[in-house]
Structure 1
Amino acid sequence: MERTWMQSAPALVDVATGRRPADLVIRGGRWVNVYSGEIIPGTDIAVADGRFAFAGPDASHAIGPQTQVIDADGRYLVPGLVDAHMHVESGLVTVTEFARAVIPHGTTSMFIDPHEIANVLGLRGVRLMHDEAQGLPINVYVQVPSCVPSAPGLEHAGAELTPADVATALAWPGMIGLGEVMNFPGVIANDPKMVAEIAATAAAGLTVGGHYASPDLGRAFHAYAAGGPADDHEGTTADDAVARVRQGMRAMLRLGSAWHDVAEQVKAVTERGLDPRNFVLCTDDSHSGTLVRDGHMNRVVRHAIAQGLRPVTAIQMATLNAAQHFGLERELGSIAPGRRADLIVTSDLVTLPVELVFARGCLMARDGALAADLPQFDYPASARGTVKLGRSLGAEDFDIRAPDAAGVTARVIGVVENQAPTRALERRLPVVDGVVQTDPANDVCKIALVERHRATGGVVNGFVSGFGYDRPCAVASTVAHDSHHMIVVGTDTADMARAANRLHEIGGGIVVIAGGEELALVELPIAGLMSDERAEVVAAKADRLVAAMRDCGCTLNNAYMQHSLLALVVIPELRISDMGLVDVTRFQVTDVIAETHADRPRAAKAP
């Protein structure tokens, strides 16, 4: 069992004075000091009991016969990187496999919100991921999901968490606070559930995560800040970041696989001169392919530096700032006495190649390869077999009928590349034999949400624009934030039915079908959200998925991530749920067909 700082303090003092040899000494490095903002050459680091005991010009007094000595050879000594807000399930792998993928990239601490599995399995799903996290050799802190379902009255999830459930989970070891409070209208309206959950978190002395997905920075935003959330990652502009910091919140700037929000928001620091101490870097959602090929928090730090941040400032935002935010400054986020000995060794602060990774004083990775074993964690049978359709679906289930019209004006979900918000569009579409048609020439195809938790057989249909599919095809996924029903997007109803039935057959995943042929499949048997295979295996399958979507005409960056958010009824403007098409600006269900026409629509130019 890991010892606390105070339990280890006598040993750390003895190492610092030379009365006891260190377990590990790293010699001759350039100390990236996130407290002073300096880079200090010629520094030695001594470690004992998994914690830093000494950081100074000469640790030879701490070297004994059994001390492991590593020569940094002038390379930089950087605190282990921290992801302040993320969802493991977005990587399509388990906590263990996610850790296996990111440790070689220098991530040694993660703050995870398992609200994806909570929407499928409830509190027992949160407990499974919590227990898995507790067994890992890096620091994985868990937030209690706050909004399950995320938008009561607008969707039905597979489970529900009550304030009593939240209070129970907050007492588990390793819990760090309340997950992102997505029901921002509930906070603003003093909804009793939101008030109770935030109060319970505050009473426990833990941190309340925020999620204010609205461009309105007026009274609604001020009310949300007054309600208790301590951070927010939904900003997309410099004004968003400025507003949050001015209200005493931490602005979390995210660079995920599909959310590219750092470049604009970091201008609050680089151009407007705001104090960077209240800015934190995070990923939110990272696809397995991104993790395997491009990196994790090292990717975010590199990107932030490329936007004009000083390297040390970017590193502070990915280490110390996050630790301070969660009240863990005395444990994480710096190379300083008493803190857990999490650090990376790198030869360049700008490109940030990660050459050595240590967690709690143990070598975890070398030159991009894992150097330590991680414990195996097996998910029980009760976490599998969660896709329940109740019946086999046919092509007719995906029809939208308008029997008395020659054409309609339809409300269409508009995908915004590299951002979570969507646009509320309207398009004129033809009607043939009483069925509203798609318009591939103008990038309008069908979207359906298939209920998969209670075997109701329910299908809600609508239209979406932005994917660019130009051949008969369908893409289906049981990852559908946040209620995680099944989303099917396609141009051909027969392929849409095949895709939905295929995912029912395998117990969850993602599939691409074109012209009746299966082009790509990612199996996700754990809650229909996660694979039990290695991250690199999942990444290879995801690559085939991306290629198949591209073959169908889709050119969006990380289009699958955009697909998975189309049911997220807490982010404007237009979404789909098991209750219908949802206008998120007004938080109410709306009709797909805005207007019917007696005449056929004229050919329209693509927007």
Structure 2
Amino acid sequence: MEQTTLKTWAECAPRLVNVAAGREAADLIIRNGRWVNVHSREILAGHDIAIAEGRIAYVGPDASHCIGPQTELIEAEDRFMIPGLCDAHMHIESGMLTPAEFARAVIPHGTTSMFTDPHEIANVLGLAGVRMMHDEALMQPINVFTQMPSCAPSAPGLETTGFEITPQDVAEAMQWPGIIGLGEMMNFPGVANADPKMLAEIAATQNAGKTVGGHYASPDLGPAFHAYVAGGPADDHEGTCEADAIARVRQGMRSMMRLGSAWFDVESQITAITEKGLDPRGFILCTDDCHSGTLVNDGHMNRVVRHAIECGCDPLIALQMATINTATHFGLERDLGSITPGRRADVILTSDLKTLPIQQVIARGKTVAKNGVCLVDCPHYDWPKHARQTVNLGPQRRAMDFDISAPNGANTVTANVIGVVENQAPTKALKATLNVQDGLVEMDVDQDVCQIALVERHRGLGSTTNAFVSGFGYQGRMAMASTVAHDSHHMIVVGTDKEDMALAANRLGEVGGGVTVFKDGQEIALIKLPIAGLMSDQPATQVAAKAQAMMQAMQTCGCTLNNAYMQHSLLALVVIPELRISDLGLVDVTKFEMTTVLQAPK
């Protein structure tokens, strides 16, 4: 499915030249604004922008020679004219929205370009699911580029996904019109150990002249890190401290600093620029994962830029990291990321560079939002029936499916417990002494230890793996279940009561996927996500309202963590240390091997 709303530069070059020279009239002129030039890092007052065919033809102090009888005029009134914002790394599915509804949500925030990795749907529907996301992305009035997912499964041998991605899939996708590169290479041990499959995917991408995304989720900056860089990934967003950012940039990677709904990694890394004085060209801002509530209530890339400025970053440098740096990284510097001739006419009008109110958004030469209201249609893909029937649980779950048996004769056991860390993706490997009753290991709410289960949902096998988790602070009788379970996207169930855990799991099987919270045997929140068990095609405002009710339900059950749902949904992500759960059992991600839920008695 080709983009039809924007001509290439070659197709409209004669007109751009003629408009710039005054021989033809522009379609649109923005007059008397302060031009924020991200190439030279300066602000130039009293400038005009002339636009034709959705691209910029002229930027200068006077565009009156480009005006004709049909030319639309926008008065900037001395406001700042900044390039449309780019999100360099993100997963649309994390918003629980389709590409169309995600675009509708972020357009009023000034996001005009997104570089998306749909590896969530790849785990559920394979290459066909990626194509659906890609096709809907190309239908949008803004620039939505797709990275071909690289790792499904994310860690071979440690989890079972609905589908697997092969090097042949990657090579095929590199020919699609909207594919910009390879999605984050999460199997970092595989790359560091020269795994032929991983290197074949990277080679297929580089042979196509496209960018390889990185994901090095380890604090080890020794030989393993250097081996990973040698394997070809060109960027990384998993850094959490200044040393991580510096190491990546020194090795020629782009350091992507993220501020998502639950990942707060900008403040701890931006000191590489603000204090150490490193060249900011090596740094990029991104969100990675934003749920719908963040998009509706707080913003998108405008929120990230504001945050970077609040952390002490020069506003012009912060803007560079969300515009031209991103475009350059993906080989698109001549096409977007700045307000200069030939580029796509993606422009934001704002009265202040620090607080960044997004007053008017122009994308491809057309006004798409004003004062927080989206003014354009965002077309929907016709999602087929099989994409809406992906939750296959097999037999109904019973409370006994969540039993964890103790060794014969044991009165207490020592358990390996997944420890949730607020506002960060990594977990901690904790230990807890738990009581045994009637041969079964008991949870301990007083120690903040409840149960977690991964319920198989792709093939109807009826299997459940069980372990323990700490950090949510749940009290009383409750359970929460989600078919959003990065990255395998089986079903994660966390609870203090096995009966409620069974009720929650079966409820999601009934509605075809989503998130539900049960308390004392009653459902108190539900978000239906019928597309791949990951997304709703309802507007972001409606999904955000249900998400807010879900988070309120978590709080009612005792959880006080910031954006705890994001922590919940990543507990099966077996490529981020330290402990995770998969359909195969408990995974020690520091060693990339399976471990036991209960420690052997000494």
Aligned to 2:536: 531
Aligned to 1:279: 283
Aligned to 2:60: 56
- Specify the code of the residue in structure 2 equivalent to 1:483: S
**Aligned 1:220-235 pairs, distance under 5 A:** 220-235=224-239
Instruction: Report if the CA contact (8 A) 1:253-1:282 is conserved.
Output: yes
The CA distance in 1 between the partners of 2:275 and 2:41, in whole Å, is 19
Q: Cα deviation per residue 1:136-193 (whole Å; 9 max; x = unaligned)? A: 1111110110001101000000001111011001111011010000000000111110
Q: In structure 2, the residue corresponding to 1:330 is in which secondary structure?
A: coil
Aligned to 1:214: 218
Q: In structure 2, the residue corresponding to 1:567 is in which secondary structure?
A: coil
Instruction: Report if the CA contact (8 A) 1:146-1:180 is conserved.
Output: yes
Instruction: Report if the CA contact (8 A) 1:410-1:595 is conserved.
Output: no
**Aligned 1:189-588 pairs, distance under 5 A:** 189-402=193-406, 403-588=408-593
Tell me the CA shift for residue 78 of structure 1. Answer: 0.5
TM-score, reference length from structure 1: 0.98
The CA distance in 2 between the partners of 1:243 and 1:3, in whole Å, is 40
The CA distance in 2 between the partners of 1:485 and 1:197, in whole Å, is 25
Given the alignment, which residue of 20, 32, 37 partners 1:33?
Answer: 37
Q: Cα deviation per residue 1:520-556 (whole Å; 9 max; x = unaligned)? A: 0000000000012111100000000000000000000
Q: Cα deviation per residue 1:255-288 (whole Å; 9 max; x = unaligned)? A: 0000000000101000111000010000000000
Aligned to 1:143: 147
Given the alignment, which residue of 169, 187, 190 partners 1:186?
Answer: 190
The CA distance in 1 between the partners of 2:480 and 2:351, in whole Å, is 43
The CA distance in 2 between the partners of 1:423 and 1:368, in whole Å, is 40
Instruction: Report if the CA contact (8 A) 2:132-2:381 is conserved.
Output: no
The CA distance in 2 between the partners of 1:105 and 1:260, in whole Å, is 19
Give unmatched runs, 5+ long, in structure 2. Answer: none
**Aligned 1:80-95 pairs, distance under 5 A:** 80-95=84-99
Q: In structure 1, the residue corresponding to 2:181 is in which secondary structure?
A: strand
Aligned to 1:117: 121
Instruction: Report if the CA contact (8 A) 2:20-2:66 is conserved.
Output: yes
The CA distance in 2 between the partners of 1:112 and 1:376, in whole Å, is 17
Aligned to 1:600: none
Tell me the CA shift for residue 596 of structure 1. Answer: 4.2
The CA distance in 2 between the partners of 1:466 and 1:55, in whole Å, is 54
- Specify the code of the residue in structure 1 equivalent to 2:412: G
Q: In structure 1, the residue corresponding to 2:526 is in which secondary structure?
A: strand
Tell me the CA shift for residue 404 of structure 1. Answer: 2.2
The CA distance in 1 between the partners of 2:325 and 2:74, in whole Å, is 28
- Specify the code of the residue in structure 2 equivalent to 1:224: Y
- Specify the code of the residue in structure 2 equivalent to 1:223: A
Aligned to 1:603: none
Aligned to 1:155: 159
Q: In structure 2, the residue corresponding to 1:53 is in which secondary structure?
A: strand
The CA distance in 1 between the partners of 2:391 and 2:255, in whole Å, is 37
The CA distance in 1 between the partners of 2:276 and 2:202, in whole Å, is 32
Tell me the CA shift for residue 377 of structure 1. Answer: 2.1
The CA distance in 2 between the partners of 1:188 and 1:37, in whole Å, is 38
- Specify the code of the residue in structure 2 equivalent to 1:25: I
The CA distance in 1 between the partners of 2:41 and 2:220, in whole Å, is 35
The CA distance in 1 between the partners of 2:478 and 2:47, in whole Å, is 59
Q: In structure 2, the residue corresponding to 1:561 is in which secondary structure?
A: helix
Q: Which moved more, 1:2-11 or 1:195-204?
A: 2-11
The CA distance in 2 between the partners of 1:47 and 1:310, in whole Å, is 29
The CA distance in 2 between the partners of 1:376 and 1:490, in whole Å, is 36
RMSD (CA atoms): 0.7
Question: Which ranges of 4 or more aligned residues in structure 1 deviate by more than 2 Å?
Answer: none
Q: In structure 1, the residue corresponding to 2:516 is in which secondary structure?
A: strand
Tell me the CA shift for residue 104 of structure 1. Answer: 0.3
Aligned to 2:103: 99
